[in-house]
Structure formats: C-alpha cells, structure tokens
Amino acid sequence: MTPLLEARGLSKFFPSRDGKGIVRAVNDVSLSLAQGETLGIVGESGCGKSTLARMLMRLIEPSEGKVLFQGEDLMSLPNGAMRQRRRDIQIVFQDPYASLDPRMNIAQIIAEPLEIHGIGTRAERAARVKELTSLVGLDPAAASRYPHEFSGGQRQRIGIARAIALEPKLVVLDEPVSALDVSIQSQILNLLDDLRTRLRLSYVFISHDLSVVQHVSDRVAVMYLGRIVEDGPAEAVLGAPKHPYTEALISAIPEIDPGRRKSPVLLSGDPPNPEDVPSGCAFSPRCPLVQDICRREAPGFRQSGPSRARCHFVEGT
C-alpha cells in the first residue's frame, strides 16, 4: 500500500554565520506515514524537527531529497497544483499567541482557509465555522471575539479548528502543547486524539517531550543533530531503545511510581555545534558507549526487531 506521506533523503542546508561553511539542519532523513497513523518526531531543541516539518509541507524547499504525498512528488508540483494539495496537508503551530492574527476575530480566522480556496457561500462558511468551533470544544457564540480574549489552550483549539477546516488528510503538529500549562496539555492531546478518530486524520507530531510523544504516537522517530538515529513502532522504540541517545531521553521522563524509577542516563557535554559536526558518529562525543570505531565511521541504520538505529553496537542485525 502506498504511504500517505513519504520523505526520501530529505536534507536542508543553510550558510554558516561566517558564510564559509554550511549548517546541515536536516541531513538525509527518510520516513513514511501510513493513513490514520501518528508519527512522533522527537529530539532536543535545535535538532531540526521544525525544519523537517516545514519541508514535509513544502513551506521551505529542501536542499536535497523529495517528499511524496499519496505517491505524488510535492517538490515537482507547480504553484497552482501545490495550492490545491495544501487542502490535504495542514499545520498547527507551536505558539498559539503568535499564530493567530490579532486583527481578525475567531470566525474570520477559521473561515480564512475556506475563503482562500473558494469553498462555500458566505452563509455556508458561517455554518462551517459554528460546526468547527463546537467540534474543538468552544462556544460558537464566542466566534465574534478576538484572540486576545482567549486563554492559551483556547487559542490552540482555534488553531486546530482552522487546520481541520479544509478536511485535510494530514495535519502536522509542531510542538502543539509545549507552550501550554501541563493541566491544559492533556485536554488538547485528548482533543487531537478524538479528532483523529472522528475525522480519520493522520498526524506528524513534533515534540521535544518524549512523554507526550509516547502518549499519542503509533510510531516514533528520534532525531539528533539533523538525522534520525532511531525509528520504529512506539512500543519498540520507547520500550526497548536501541540507540544510547534514545535511552537517555527515556530515562529523563519523570516517573511518579518510586518503584519504577530508574537511574538516569547522564550525557556528558552539550550537542556539538551544527556548523562543526564531529567525524564518525555525531553522538560519539556524548555517548557513554563510545569506541574508536564510533569516532572513525558514521554508522548506518541497523535493524533490530521492528525498529532500527544508527549505532555500531545494535544487536540483532
């Protein structure tokens, strides 16, 4: 079966600050997403998650590689055809305070995608706005109000309503709960889960919080310094990690039950400068298992059960 979304060898390079080199923000990323699935992409801040998300939507052009949506190469589409494809691929941004136009009321914000694509009459769009506000748990009577009159969680609900207005097949969620209070995060996550089931959506869920990704994802891809270092089914990656970086991330998840707490895996130092990536394995300066081969040779993916990892010492290959 053709994947809903597929990235092949996707890379994005930016000039370095001094203009003499390049920063490999995303480096040779390949992934796929099936219809109805949620793919969680997790990693530290600055590892390239948001850049990857924007390339998947063709909001920015890749330096190398391609993105296929239902088998169609998005990078080869002319502007008119890509504009139509955008109905199928929508995004919810991280900051609910910055992603809504303060000069537009909620009805205008949610109806804007419908107007852009020429969908429905004015009365039909107004009815659709009422339907959408109710669907995301807001009072339709509040649609005449402006963003500053809403809380962060309510604003994110508005952003979600705007994203699903065109009945997309795929929604990219770029850190959708990281700017919200913990008490509100669970409400938004439950809403997203309900909408996925009700509307038969697929999600790419970007986050630096592994506990959130664990809650929502069917499959997980772990990024480090622009590359995916481990991916596979969520229960395999998070239950039995094969890469030492994934293991360190998992060990940092807070555990309420004292009997289930484990000693954290402490990493030395900070992530390397992306303008000067170490030779061999990029994780080698921080890896507790590092050997000479790690500093000499960059590891490729090695399969271990249902998951795979970029590590020389993955067992089961």
Q: Could you tell me the residue ranges of all domains in the chain?
A: 5-88+166-226
144's CB contacts (< 8 A; 6+ apart) are 105, 106, 107
* Locus of tokens 């990024």: 223
pLDDT of residue 260: 64
- Alpha carbon distance 180, 139 (integer Å): 20
State residue 86 phi and psi, 5-degree precision: -65, -20
* CA-angle at 206, arms to 166 and 117, nearest 5°: 15
69 DSSP 8-state letter: E
pLDDT of residue 261: 60
- Alpha carbon distance 303, 314 (integer Å): 8
pTM for the structure as a whole: 0.92
Q: Is 88 exposed, middle or buried (0-12, 13-18, 19+ CB in 10 A)?
A: middle
**pLDDT tens, residue by residue, 137-195:** 999 999 999 999 999 999 999 999 999 999 999 999 999 999 899 889 999 999 999 99
DSSP reduced 3-state for 28: strand
Phi-psi domain of 145 (left: phi exceeds 0; alpha: psi -120 through 50; beta: other): beta
DSSP reduced 3-state for 64: strand
- Alpha carbon distance 184, 150 (integer Å): 13
- Alpha carbon distance 104, 129 (integer Å): 14
Low-confidence ranges of the chain (pLDDT < 50): 317
- Alpha carbon distance 303, 317 (integer Å): 5
204's CB contacts (< 8 A; 6+ apart) are 5, 33, 38, 39, 41, 53, 56, 170, 171, 172, 173
pLDDT of residue 259: 64
The count of C-alpha atoms lying within 13 angstroms of the C-alpha of 1, restricted to the half-sphere facing its C-beta, is 7
pLDDT of residue 253: 75
At the fourth CATH level, the homologous superfamily of domain 5-88+166-226 is P-loop containing nucleotide triphosphate hydrolases (3.40.50.300)
| Cα torsion 90, 91, 96, 97: sign | negative
State how beta strands 202-207 and 170-174 pair.
Answer: parallel
100 DSSP 8-state letter: S
pLDDT of residue 317: 43
In this structure, what token pair is assigned to residue 312? 């020389």
- Alpha carbon distance 51, 43 (integer Å): 13
